[in-house]
Amino acid sequence: MSRPFQPGDSSHPALHPSVTNVPVTPGVHLTGRSAYFEPEGPAQNAALPFDPETATPGPNWSANSYFSQHKQKPKSGDGPNLKHDLADVDPRAAHPALNLSGRIISATFTIPYNCSFSAGNDWEMRSRRGTSALYDSFSYLASSSSPWNHTLVGWTGEISESVPCAAESAAKPQLEGNKAAAPIPVDANAAAPQSTQTEGLRIGRADRDRLEKHLERDHGGKIIPVWLADEIKKDEDALVLKDQSRWRRYAEHELYTLFHYKQNAPADGRAARKTWADYYRMNRLFADRIVDLYKPGDIIIIHDFYLMLLPSLIRQRLPNAYIGFFLHTPFPSSEFYRCLSQRKEILEGVLGANMIGFQSYSYSRHFSSCCTRILGFDSSSAGVDAYGAHVAVDVFPIGINATSTLQQAFNDPLIQEKIKAMRELYAGKKIIVGRDRLDSVRGVPQKLQAFEMFLERYPEWQNKVVLIQVTSPSKVQAEKGEDEDKFVNKVSDLVARINGTYGNLYFSPVQHFPQYLSREEYFALLRVADVALITSVRDGMNTTSLEYVVCQKDHHGPLILSEFSGTSSSLQNAIHINPWDMAGVADALNEALTMTEEQRKEQHEKSFKYVVENNVQAWTNNYLRRLMTNLSSVDQSFATPALDKAQLLSQYRQAKKRLFMFDYDGTLTPIVKDPSAAVPSDRVLRTLKTLASDPANNVWIISGRDQAFLEEWMGHISELGLSAEHGSFMRRPRSEDWENLTEKEDMSWQSEVLRVFQEYTEKTQGSFVERKKIALTWHYRRADPEYGAFQARECQKHLEKTVATKWDVEVMTGKANLEVRPRFVNKGEIAKRLVQEYGQEGGLEFVFCAGDDFTDEDMFRSLRQSKLPTNHVFSVTVGASSKQTLASWHVVEPADIIAVISLLNGNSEGGNAGAVAVVDGSVPEMEKSI
C-alpha cells in the first residue's frame, strides 16, 4: 500500500509523490549529497554590515539556506571599507528613545519543518518546501551576523504519524523509467485516497514538550510552535488532531483566491462561516503565544495572508507593542477586494500594525485605497490614519540570498554532472526554461499557448528549441480538487497538442515534468537555460526569476518576465510581457533567442547587480530600519485598538449585572445632513429591545437630542432608559415621566445665543438653528463644508468672547454643528450618576459605553475616573480614523455597534463567528439573523 497522502498532496494521480519525486535529469542519480561546499574566489559583497562568506552560519531552515553548512574560514586581508547604517549594527544605539530590547519575534504560518509524530519517540523533522526567501530572512536574523535576538513563532503544520522505515519502504511502489515525462494519466474511476486516521492523532504534554525543546535546542534559532487542535482533553492534558488542514482553508480558499483576482463559485456561506471562525481562532492562538513571549521593547514582525488578524489581536492586548506586517502576495484593487465577506475585519486586523509592507507599489496603493473606500479612513501614499494613529504603508521588494545561491549553483560537482547530461540530451537545441507551481495564477497554459504560437510564427525555430516546463504541485488548498484536475488535464492536453504538431519520434519540443526538483537539478536547469520564461497572471515576488539571474552570471541568458509578477518592477532590464498577449510573448521569445552577446551581457549585468545588492539580508535590514524610523518619528501613544469582541463576549457572559450607555447620532445611526431624517432602522430597534429585555441588562440612550425625538422613536421600548439634551432630562426604564435636572438653573443666556446664531444663519446658506429646552445648536451640515466650518470657527470665537464670559456656559463643537449649553450639563455627569446608582446594590461587572463625538468624551472620562475594574469597562468610540480619544476601544461605523449588540444577543453570523468560536470553542449552525 502506498503511503497516505499528506494534506498538502494533490488528489490527481499524476501528482502523486511516487511520480513527482522522479528526477528530471536522465542518467544522473540522486545522491542526496549536499550542495553546500566551501566557496572559492572572492566574496560577493552585498553592502551588508558583515561578510556573508566569513560569517557564522545561521540555522539551515530552507533548501536555499542563508549560510553554507560548512563554516567559512576567515580570509586574509580586510574586506571592503563600507559605511553602514548604525541601525543595522546597533539598533538600540540608533534609536535610544524606543527602549528596544534587542529581540525580534517573527510570526509566520508554519515552522520550517514538516513534523512526523510517534507517541513516546523522538519527532521526525524534514525541511519544508517553499518560502525559501522568507526562511532565509529568519535564518539571517537568528545568526550571529544579525544584531538581533530572534524567535520564530509558527504553527507546527499538519503533523503526520511516523511510519516505521521497513514498512514505509515496502509500501512504496517501484517505478520504471520517468513516467512524469509522459502525458499525464487520468483515471476517472479511481477513488481518492482515504486517510487511515479516523480517531485523530493524540499528542500528550510530554510529546509536545519534547518537540518544543528539540526545536529550541537543536535548530540554531529559537522556534516556538503554535499548537492547533480539534479537541483538548483537559483531564489527560492531550491535544487531538483530526482535520488539520482546516486551519489553512479560509486563508487559501478565500484570501489567496481573491488576492490573485479570482472568485469562488457561489455558496450558501455555511462552509465559509466555519472556515472564518477557524481563521479567527488560529490568529487568536498565535496572539496568545506571542503575548506570553513578549517583553517590552520587543519588535514583532508578522508575515503573510494567513495572519492578517494578528496585528490587531496583539494590539488589543499590547497597546504599545512595536508591530510590523508584511504581505508576500499581491493585494487586489478595491473593486475586487470589496467582494470579500469579511472585508472590514481583514483590513482592521492588518491596521493593528505600525507599518505594513508590500512587494510592489501597486499593491500598497490598492491597500490604502481599500482602507479609504471601505473603512472611510484617510490615506495617502505614505500610509493610513487608523484608530488615532498613523500606520505607515511602504514597499519592500523581497530578495534572495544571492551569495548562498552563487555558492550552491557553481560549487557543486553534482550540478556540473547534471548540466553535462542536459546539454548532451538537448544538443543543438536552445533551451527555454519554465518552473512554476501548478497554480492557475502561474500562467502555465498561457505559456504553452504562447510557445505554440511562437513555433507557428517562427518556423525557423522548429526542431531547434525545447521548452522544459517543471510544474511542482500546488501547496494552496484553493487549487485542489476538481478544478485542479481540470487544470492539470488542460496543461496535459496543450503539451500533447504541441508535441503532436511540432514533434516527431525523436524529439518533443515541450518537456513537461509535473514534480518537485532536487536542489541540484533546479540550479542545473537554471544554469543550462538559454531563456527563462515566466508568464504569471498574478503573483507576489517570483524568486525563480531572481535565482535565474544569479545562475546566468556566465551565460547571460535573457529573462522574459510577466508584467503581473511582483518582480517586474524590480527587474527593469528583463523583457516584460503581458501573458495574455500570446503574440507578444511569441515575439519576445524570438527577440530573446536572437539577441547578440553584447545585448545579453548588458541586460544581464544590470539585473545581476540589482539582485546581488538587494538580497534578502538587505531586505530584512531595510524593513527593520524603516520600521524603527517610523516608530521614532510618529507618536503611537494615542492609538486606540479595534474592539476585542472575544474579550467583550467573555466578560458579558460572566457578568450578572450590566450597564449599557449609547449615544444616538453617529453611534446607533449614521450621521445625515438633515437631523430629523436620522431615524432608527427596524434592525436597530429590534436589537436594542432584545438587549434590554435581559433582566441583567440596564440599557440607556444618552443623546444630545431633545425629549420629543427620543420619545417618538425610542419611547415604545419601555425597558430603555432615556437621557435627552446631554443629560439634562431623564426618563427611567418602565416609566413615562421625564425628570428635569436643570429646572432651577438660569436660562436667560439663551436669548443672546439665539440672536448670534440667527445672525450666522443669515450669513451661511443651508445652516439652521435647533432649539432645545436646555441647549441651543447651530447646524451647518447642509452648507458648503469649507465655508460652514469657517463660519463655525468665527461664531465660536464670537460666543466665547461674549456669552461665555457672562454665564457659566460652554461652546461645544460637534459634527457639523456648534452647541451652547450650561457647563454642569454633560454626558459625563449622567454616566457617573448611572454607574453610582446601578453599582449600589451589587457591583457592576460589565459596562459598555459607545459614542462618536466630542460630547461623548465626557462619558469616557467619567468611566476612566471611576473605580470600576478596567477589564469590566468597554468604552468604545465610533468613526473617524484619526480621532484621538479617551475611549479604550474603536469601531468604524454605527453598523459595527449593532453587530456587537447582536453578538451579545447570541447572534454568531458574519464577523461575529470568530469571537464565538474563541469563547465557545466551536460555532453553532447558521441561524436567522436578529
Give catalytic residue positions.
663
CA dist 351 and 313 (Å) reads 10
CA dist 328 and 476 (Å) reads 14
Q: Which three cell numbers, joined as nine digits, stand for 886?
A: 479617551
Taking a C-beta distance cutoff of 8 angstroms, is the pair 139, 66 a contact?
yes
Chain centroid to Cα 696, Å, comes to: 39
User: Which backbone phi and psi does 383 adopt, to 5 degrees?
Assistant: 160, -165
Counting DSSP H helices and E strands in the chain, the numbers are 32, 33
Q: Which residues share a beta bridge with 849?
A: 661, 875
Kindly tell me the sign of the dihedral angle through the C-alpha atoms of 580, 581, 587, 591: negative
Taking a C-beta distance cutoff of 8 angstroms, is the pair 204, 232 a contact?
no
Closest CA to 119 of 214, 203, 232, 213: 203
Taking a C-beta distance cutoff of 8 angstroms, is the pair 850, 885 a contact?
no
Chain centroid to Cα 239, Å, comes to: 27
Alpha-helical (H) ranges within 571-727 are: 582-594, 597-613, 616-633, 645-654, 682-692, 707-714
User: Which backbone phi and psi does 881 adopt, to 5 degrees?
Assistant: -65, -30
CA dist 657 and 671 (Å) reads 31
Taking a C-beta distance cutoff of 8 angstroms, is the pair 692, 734 a contact?
no
Q: Which three cell numbers, joined as nine digits, stand for 748?
A: 436667560
Residue 315 CB partners (closer than 8 Å, separation 6+) = 321, 323, 352, 353, 639, 641, 642
Taking a C-beta distance cutoff of 8 angstroms, is the pair 498, 10 a contact?
no
Cα→Cα distances 279→371, 617, 877, Å: 21, 31, 26
What's the order of all strands across the beta sheet hosting 575-577?
510-513, 465-472, 430-437, 531-534, 559-562, 575-577
Residue 382 CB partners (closer than 8 Å, separation 6+) = 392, 393
Taking a C-beta distance cutoff of 8 angstroms, is the pair 216, 223 a contact?
yes
Q: Which three cell numbers, joined as nine digits, stand for 473?
A: 504541485
The residue assigned the cell 535546542 is 217
User: Which backbone phi and psi does 241 adopt, to 5 degrees?
Assistant: -110, 120
CA dist 216 and 59 (Å) reads 11
Residue 897 CB partners (closer than 8 Å, separation 6+) = 662, 667, 668, 850, 876, 878, 891
For 712, counting Cβ atoms within 10 Å of its Cβ (0-12 exposed, 13-18 middle, 19+ buried), the class is: exposed
Torsion angle of alpha carbons 331, 332, 333, 334, nearest 10°? Answer: -90
DSSP 543: H
Q: Which residues share a beta bridge with 781?
A: none
Own/partner contacts of 924-930, CB < 8 Å, gap of 24 or more, are 925/270, 926/269, 926/270, 926/273, 929/902, 930/683, 930/686, 930/687, 930/690, 930/902, 930/905, 930/906
Closest CA to 472 of 509, 508, 512, 418: 512
Q: Residue 8: enclosing H or E segment and its boundaries?
A: none
